[in-house]
Structure formats: C-alpha cells, structure tokens
Amino acid sequence: MSDTHARSVAFVRKEEIPPAPPPASQAGVVMWLRENLFSNWFNSILTVLGILAVYYLVIWLTPWLANGVWDADSLSECREILDGTRGACFAVLTERWNQLLFGFGYPSDAYWRPALAFVLLFGAVAPILFSDLPRRLLILTALYPFVAYWLIWGGTIVVPIVAILGFVAGYVAYSQVVDRSFAGGALAGIAAAAVVWWLGGFISDEASGFLALSEVPSRDMGGFMLNMILGTVCVSLSLPIGIVLALGRQSKLPIIKGFCVVFIEFVRGVPLITLLFVANVVLAYFLPPGSNFDLILRVIIMITMFASAYIAEVIRGGLAALPRGQYEAADSLGLDYAQAMRLIILPQALKISIPGIVNVAVGLFKDTTLVSIISMFDLVGLIRGPILASTDWNGVYWELWGFAALLFFVICYGISQYSQWLERRLTTDQR
C-alpha cells in the first residue's frame, strides 16, 4: 500500500513559499546593463560606438557652449574676447534678437503687440486642442483672429469690430432661415454679413482714429513672427476649405467630384516652391488689372491652397473610416445631407482626423520657411540675407542656424507630442 501512497497525485500545500530575491545576475544595475546594453556582441559594439559618438559630441560642444560670448558688437569683437579659445559667439543673438523675432521693419516700440498676440494664441487654441475644457471658451477662439489682426497690423479697432459684427449678423440671419433650408440659410447669412460690412466700411472710414494702434504695413512683417503668422493664418483658413474639398471628393456628383480631385491632385503634385513662384510672379496676372495685393496676401492665398489640399486628404481618410451604418442611420431618421454631415458625419470624422491635421499643420509651419526663397524676410530669409551679409556678423553660421533650428524644434516637437497624446487618447476612447 505504501507504493500507492508514494504514487498518489493528490497534494495539499501546508505552508506558503515566501517570495525570494532573484539571483544577483537577474537584478539591479548589472542586469539592466546586460539586458539593455551588452546582451550580445553586436549590441556591445553598438553600445561602445554610441558612447563614443556621444563622448565626442560632448567634448566638442561643451567648450563651444561654455565659452560662448553673449556680449559683443561684431564677430571680430567676439574673436578678440575669445582670444583664440574655441567658443560660440551668441552675441549675434543678443544683438539681433529683435530682428530674428520680428523682422527689421517692425517698429520696436510696438514689439509688445505681436508678443501679446502670440501669448493670446495659446488661449485661443487651447479650447480646440483640449476637449475637456468648457465649450464656451470656443468664443475666445472665434474672437482671436480679430484681436490678433488688430494687435499685429494696428489701425482702428472699429475695423475688427465691424468684421465681428458682420459675422454675428450673418450667423443670426443664417440661424433664422436654416430651419427651412440649409442653402437658403447660407445665402441669407452671406447677404446679412455683406450688408453689415458694407455699412461698417463707412463707419470705420469716419472713425479711423478711434482706439487706433499705429498701423504697420504687411511688408514690415518679418522674422519668426512672419513664420508664425503664415502658419496660423494658412492652417486656420485651409481647414474649412479642406473640409469642403474632402466632402466634394466623396460626392457622387461627377462634376463636383472631378473638380475636387483635379484640384487636390494638382496641388499635391507640385512642390510648394512652384506655388510660391506663382504667388510671386504669376498670380498678379490673374487678378483684376490695377488691383494691388501685397506679396504677403498672395503668399497666404497660395499656401492656403496648398495646405487645404493636404488637409482634404486627411479628412477624406477620416470620412472613409466611418462605418456606412452611420450614413444609413442618419438617412433612415430623415436627416438631409447638410444635417447628416453637420450633426453626424463631420463631428466624428474630424475627431479621427485631428492627429493627421496636426501633422499637416506642423509640416506646413516648417514649410513657411520657403518664403525666404522668394526673398521674403522670414526667420531663414533674415539670417541668410541681412544678418549673415552684414559686415559685423558675416560668418556666424552655427549660432544663428542653431537658434533657428531650436525655435522650430521647440514648437514642432511640442505640437507633435500633443498629437501623439491625442492619438493615444483616441485609441483608448473608442471601446
């Protein structure tokens, strides 16, 4: 019988086994190093190479940064101060910071205005970017363009107020009529806005001194401010156009669809620089004779066209990602096309598209540097032109380009981190 007992499979644990620390090779710094850096010979070689690369970079950069001269009037003065030691000449940044940021034409006593507009931008964008904030804050976003225009370009406050009133009147008229027909509402809105703007034109001519900031012409916009202006204006204008194009491309009507496809594919098929050439030398031919659009406006038109084609493609992706059942449910409830799009389809499609739109926006913001090629003085244009060409600072490449790269990096990296955060949130949201 003892035999059977020994073979019995029945088992009951009497005492718990306490958890024990792992063997030394499985824990602590040693294990981390082995697992992460020296798991095999190939990895070890990579690690050594990596450490060497970082080492040389640090050895090379540290004295350059540490010996940096922040206070001098020219490169030669920098060199005198450095006295043969290796070091950066950051003095160019301290001396020319105002040009780098605002361009050399913007009146220096008005620097606070674009700076304030820049700070306000965060407040305006926040309600769009973070859907947890109360929806009522969106009114700040709606007001921002007018305030920013007034701050940056100056002039009487009556102009932006009239513009706002026009939009308000348009909206009121629209919401009165939209119950009957969307198209009618849109027409009524446009008509009401036009009337208000027309009337307002007289008032603002009369009251040109009322609460007026000194006017700054467009050609004086420059530096990083110009990049910011082009980026924000073109992205915000291209959003509605992109939505319309995307809807048009999804349409069943061949003429409308065909037009949208041709437009989108054309714009996406040519480099931005050719469109900027168009803005620079060709667009004027297509505008009414005698009209005088300044270059910044023509550039805004072309960049907006460019961006809206890309945004349209992103939104088309979002539209295509919606299940067909959503369209059918809207149909079966009796919603018409405008209602179904506005209430059901677009809110969902736009939400999916936000990360893609943000990527387009980042790309576009980077591409605003291309205006330097048609000799506008944005950040890159200023460095390449006036600053590097000046006798004082001829040859200060690294400090200036490093600064420009850093400015763009901070903003673009920030936005792309936001977009990744949003993407993670979207994937966890959808259950």
- Contacting another protein within 137-196 (CB under 8 A): 179
Measured distance CA(408)–CA(257) in Å, rounded: 37
Query: If you count them, how many residues does the chain have?
Result: 431
Query: Cβ of residue 194: shortest distance to another protein, in angstroms?
Result: 17
Q: Which of residues 39-68 bind another protein (CB under 8 A)?
A: 39, 43, 46-47, 50-51, 53-54
Which residue in 369, 385, 386, 418 binds another protein (CB under 8 A)? 369
Measured distance CA(399)–CA(340) in Å, rounded: 54
Which string of x and - marks every residue 404-423 that binds another protein (by CB under 8 A)?
xx--xx--xx--x-------
In 3D space, the residue among 146, 164, 154, 147 whose CA is nearest the CA of residue 200 turns out to be 164
Query: Cβ of residue 329: shortest distance to another protein, in angstroms?
Result: 4
Alpha carbon of residue 273 to chain centroid: 19
Which residue in 9, 84, 269, 292 binds another protein (CB under 8 A)? 269
Q: Residues in contact with another protein, total (CB under 8 A)? A: 76
Query: Cβ of residue 160: shortest distance to another protein, in angstroms?
Result: 29
Q: Compare residues 16 and 132 and give the one whose CB is closer to another protein.
A: 132
Q: Which of residues 280-299 bind another protein (CB under 8 A)?
A: 281-282, 284-289
Contact (Cβ atoms closer than 8 angstroms) between residue 337 and residue 368: no
Q: Compare residues 57 and 172 and give the one whose CB is closer to another protein.
A: 57
Query: Cβ of residue 200: shortest distance to another protein, in angstroms?
Result: 26
Which residue in 88, 372, 382, 419 binds another protein (CB under 8 A)? 372
Which residue in 202, 271, 294, 421 binds another protein (CB under 8 A)? 271
Contact (Cβ atoms closer than 8 angstroms) between residue 117 and residue 151: yes
Residue tagged 């931005």 (tokens): 272
Residue tagged 């050609």 (tokens): 219
Q: Compare residues 73 and 265 and give the one whose CB is closer to another protein.
A: 265
Query: Cβ of residue 416: shortest distance to another protein, in angstroms?
Result: 7
Q: Compare residues 159 and 309 and give the one whose CB is closer to another protein.
A: 309
Query: Cβ of residue 87: shortest distance to another protein, in angstroms?
Result: 17
Which residue in 205, 206, 265, 294 binds another protein (CB under 8 A)? 265
Q: Which of residues 8-37 bind another protein (CB under 8 A)?
A: 35-37
Which residue in 198, 210, 266, 421 binds another protein (CB under 8 A)? 266
Contact (Cβ atoms closer than 8 angstroms) between residue 327 and residue 349: no
92 binds another protein, rule: CB under 8 A: no
Measured distance CA(63)–CA(395) in Å, rounded: 19
- Per-position DSSP letters for 383-431, written without gaps between them: IIIIIHHSTTTTT-HHHHHHHHHHHHHHHHHHHHHHHHHHHHHHHHH--
Which residue in 71, 206, 215, 336 binds another protein (CB under 8 A)? 336
Q: Which of residues 300-329 bind another protein (CB under 8 A)?
A: 323, 325-326, 328-329
Residues 6+ apart with CB under 8 A from 307: 234, 235, 238, 242, 360, 361, 364
- Burial of residue 242, with CB atoms counted within 10 A of its CB: 0-12 exposed, 13-18 middle, 19 or more buried: buried
Q: Compare residues 60 and 397 and give the one whose CB is closer to another protein.
A: 397
Q: Which of residues 189-228 bind another protein (CB under 8 A)?
A: none
Task: Please state, in angstroms and as integers, the Cα–Cα distance from residue 368 to each residue in 39, 63, 313, 414, following that order.
Answer: 45, 34, 20, 18
Residues 6+ apart with CB under 8 A from 163: 146, 197, 200
Query: Cβ of residue 296: shortest distance to another protein, in angstroms?
Result: 19
Vertex 404, ends 403 and 410: CA angle to 5°? 85
Give strand pairing partners of 155: 213
Q: Compare residues 65 and 281 and give the one whose CB is closer to another protein.
A: 281
Phi and psi angles of residue 378, each rounded to the nearest 5 degrees, phi first: -80, -170
Measured distance CA(256)–CA(313) in Å, rounded: 16
Query: Cβ of residue 97: shortest distance to another protein, in angstroms?
Result: 18
Q: Which of residues 234-263 bind another protein (CB under 8 A)?
A: 252-256, 259
- Per-position DSSP letters for 15-27, written without gaps between them: SPPPP-PPPGGGS
Which residue stretch of 7-15, 159-167, 230-238, 265-273 sits at the interface with another protein (rule: CB under 8 A)?
Answer: 265-273
Query: Cβ of residue 351: shortest distance to another protein, in angstroms?
Result: 7
Query: Cβ of residue 172: shortest distance to another protein, in angstroms?
Result: 19
